[in-house]
C-alpha cells in the first residue's frame, strides 16, 4: 500500500475500501464481453486492480456495459442497475453505448445509454484493449476520490426523468419505480 | 445417381432455371407455385437439411425473393461427393404488394423460426404456419424494418433522438 495514502485511509475508510474492491457484474450485453475473460483471468489479471467479477447484481458495485445495447437488453440493464446497491459505478465500454457506434441508424439499437441510466465513465474504441479497462479503472479511482463518480446520486435525484426516458424507449415498464416519484400513485419497490 | 441433378430437375419441372456454380453449388430459380414441390423433391433426393431461409427485398422489381439453402447431413446425394459439400440455393420471387406465401414447415419443420423472423422483419405472411407470433422485436413499426422503404435514419430521429438527455435543468 502506498504510504502517501494513509491519511486518506484514516479520513474516509469506507470510500477507500470501495475504491479498491470493485465487484463487477458479469453481464454480457454485446460483443465487448469477449474482452472480459482475458481481463479477469491470468493474462491481464484484473484482481491486481481489485476488480473481481461476481455472479449477481446484488453483490456488485461496478457495471460494465460491454457493447451495443438493443431495446431488449436495455430492459435487462435497467433492472440490473436498479438491483445493485449503492455506491454503484457504471462504465460504458466500447463506442456503441456512447452513441450507437456502427449502429447509429439502426432501428433497434439504443443510441445514448446515458439517457436511461447514469454513466460514470466511457471507454472509447471498437473494441477497447484490456489495458483500456485498467486505465478506466484507475481513472475511476480518481473520480471516486474527488467525489465525481456520483452517477447513483444523479439517478436518485433525476429518477423521474430517467424513468420517463425508460418508458419512452421501452413502453410501459412492468416493474415498480425504485424511488418514490412525486405525484405518482405507484409505490417504490422495497423488495 | 444416374443423371446429374441439373438435367434431372430440368426434365421434371417446367419453368425452372438451374445454374451451376463450380462443382458443388446449384442455384435453382423456380416459380412460387412449384417451390414446395421442388423442395420436397430435393429432400427425397437426400438434401435433408434446410440450412437457412432468407428474404431479399427487390424493391426495383417490386418483389420479395425467398432464398432456401439446402445441404445434406445424412446421405451423400451425389456419387463421389463429400458429404455436406453440395449446397443448393432455391430461389423464388413473390409480389411485393401481396406478400403471401405458403409455409414450408410441411417439408422442413425447422423452417418455422426462419419464417417467423421473415414475417416479423419483412412482413411476409406464411399461410398455414403453426405459430406466426412475434419473435425478436419489442417495438411497433409502421413498416417492417428490413424492407428497403423503411427509413432507419428518420426512425432513429423520430424515436431515439427525440428522447431528451437527463440534465440539471429538468429538476
pLDDT of B171 strictly over 80: no
Mean pLDDT of chain A: 87
On whether residue B165 sits in a domain, the answer given is: no
Domain of residue B27: give its range: 5-159
Beta-carbon contacts of residue A85 (< 8 Å; ≥ 6 apart): A58, A61
On whether residue B69 sits in a domain, the answer given is: yes
CA distance B22 to chain A (A): 35
Looking up residue A131, the CATH number of its domain turns out to be 3.40.50.12280
On whether residue B169 sits in a domain, the answer given is: no
Residue B55's pLDDT is 93
Residue A90's pLDDT is 92
On whether residue A191 sits in a domain, the answer given is: no
On whether residue A70 sits in a domain, the answer given is: yes
On whether residue A178 sits in a domain, the answer given is: no
On whether residue B89 sits in a domain, the answer given is: yes
Chain B residues whose CB is inside 8 A of the A157 CB are 171
Mean pLDDT of chain B: 85
Distance CA B41, CA A137 (A): 61
On whether residue B171 sits in a domain, the answer given is: no
Q: Which of A104, A107, A157 sits opposite B155 (nearest CB)?
A: A107
- pTM of the full predicted structure? 0.83
On whether residue A94 sits in a domain, the answer given is: yes
Interface confidence, given as ipTM, is: 0.78
Residue B77's pLDDT is 58
DSSP A80-138: HHHHSPSS-EEEEESHHHHH-GGGTT-SSB-S-GGGTS--SEEE-SSSPPHHHHHHHHH
On whether residue B82 sits in a domain, the answer given is: yes
pLDDT tens digits, one per residue of A113-153: 888 999 998 998 888 888 998 999 999 999 998 888 888 98
On whether residue A184 sits in a domain, the answer given is: no
On whether residue B16 sits in a domain, the answer given is: yes
pLDDT band at B53 (very low <50, low <70, confident <90, very high): very high
Interface residue B137 vs chain A (CB under 8 A): yes
Q: Which of B139, B145, B156 sits opposite A111 (nearest CB)?
A: B156
Mean of pLDDT values over B98-121: 91
Mean of pLDDT values over A40-53: 89
Count structural domains, chain B.
Answer: 1
Distance CA B119, CA B100 (A): 10
On whether residue A36 sits in a domain, the answer given is: yes
Distance CA A131, CA B122 (A): 42
CA distance B146 to chain A (A): 9
Distance CA A90, CA A102 (A): 22
Angle between helices B35-44 and B5-12 (to 10 degrees): 140
Cell representation of residue A127 = 473494441
Nearest chain A residue to B167 by CA: give it.
Answer: A158
Domain of residue A133: give its range: 21-170
| Preferred mutation among B166, B169, B170 to probe A, highest tally of A CBs within 10 A | B166
Chain A residues whose CB is inside 8 A of the B166 CB are 114-115, 118, 154, 158, 161-162, 165
On whether residue B164 sits in a domain, the answer given is: no
Identify the helix (H) or strand (E) that includes residue B68. Answer: strand B63-71
| Preferred mutation among B148, B155, B157, B163 to probe A, highest tally of A CBs within 10 A | B163
pLDDT of B75 strictly over 50: yes
pLDDT of B79 strictly over 60: no
Contact assignment for B156 to A104 by CB distance below 8 Å: yes
Residue B67's pLDDT is 94
Coil vs helix vs strand at A153: helix
Looking up residue B22, the CATH number of its domain turns out to be 3.30.460.80
Distance CA A178, CA A180 (A): 7
Amino acid at each position: 500500500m502506498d504510504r502517501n495514502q494513509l491519511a486518506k485511509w484514516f479520513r474516509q475508510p469506507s470510500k477507500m475500501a470501495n475504491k479498491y474492491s470493485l465487484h463487477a457484474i458479469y453481464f454480457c450485453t454485446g460483443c465487448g464481453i469477449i474482452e472480459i475473460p482475458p481481463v479477469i483471468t491470468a493474462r491481464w489479471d484484473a484482481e491486481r486492480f481489485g476488480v473481481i467479477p461476481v455472479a449477481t447484481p446484488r453483490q456488485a458495485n461496478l457495471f460494465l456495459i460491454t457493447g451495443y445495447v438493443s431495446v431488449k437488453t436495455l430492459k435487462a440493464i435497467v433492472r440490473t442497475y436498479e438491483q445493485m446497491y449503492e455506491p454503484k459505478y457504471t462504465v460504458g465500454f466500447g463506442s456503441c453505448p456512447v452513441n450507437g457506434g456502427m449502429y447509429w441508424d439502426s432501428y433497434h439499437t439504443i443510441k445514448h445509454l446515458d439517457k436511461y441510466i447514469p454513466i460514470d465513465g466511457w471507454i472509447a474504441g471498437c473494441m477497447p484493449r484490456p489495458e483500456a479497462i485498467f486505465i478506466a479503472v484507475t481513472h475511476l479511482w480518481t473520480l471516486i476520490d474527488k467525489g465525481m463518480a456520483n452517477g447513483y446520486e444523479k439517478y436518485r435525484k433525476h429518477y423521474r426523468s430517467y424513468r420517463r426516458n425508460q418508458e419512452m424507449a421501452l413502453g410501459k415498464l412492468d416493474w415498480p419505480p425504485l424511488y418514490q416519484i412525486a405525484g405518482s400513485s405507484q409505490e417504490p419497490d422495497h423488495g | 445417381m444416374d443423371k446429374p441433378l441439373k438435367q434431372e430437375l430440368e426434365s421434371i419441372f417446367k419453368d425452372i432455371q438451374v445454374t451451376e456454380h463450380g462443382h458443388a453449388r446449384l442455384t435453382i430459380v423456380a416459380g412460387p407455385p412449384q417451390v414446395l414441390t421442388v423442395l420436397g423433391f430435393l429432400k427425397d433426393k437426400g438434401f435433408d437439411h434446410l440450412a437457412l431461409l432468407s428474404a431479399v427485398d427487390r424493391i426495383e422489381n417490386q418483389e420479395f425473393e425467398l432464398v432456401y439453402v439446402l445441404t445434406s447431413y445424412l446421405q451423400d446425394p451425389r456419387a463421389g461427393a463429400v458429404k455436406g459439400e453440395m449446397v443448393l440455393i432455391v430461389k423464388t420471387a413473390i409480389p411485393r404488394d401481396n406478400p403471401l406465401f405458403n409455409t414450408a414447415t410441411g417439408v422442413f419443420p425447422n423452417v418455422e423460426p426462419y419464417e417467423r423472423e421473415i414475417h416479423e422483419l419483412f412482413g411476409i405472411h406464411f399461410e398455414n404456419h403453426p405459430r406466426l407470433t412475434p419473435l425478436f422485436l419489442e417495438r411497433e413499426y409502421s413498416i417492417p424494418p428490413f424492407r428497403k422503404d423503411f427509413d432507419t435514419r428518420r426512425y432513429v430521429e423520430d424515436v431515439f433522438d427525440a428522447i431528451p438527455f437527463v440534465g440539471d435543468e429538468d429538476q
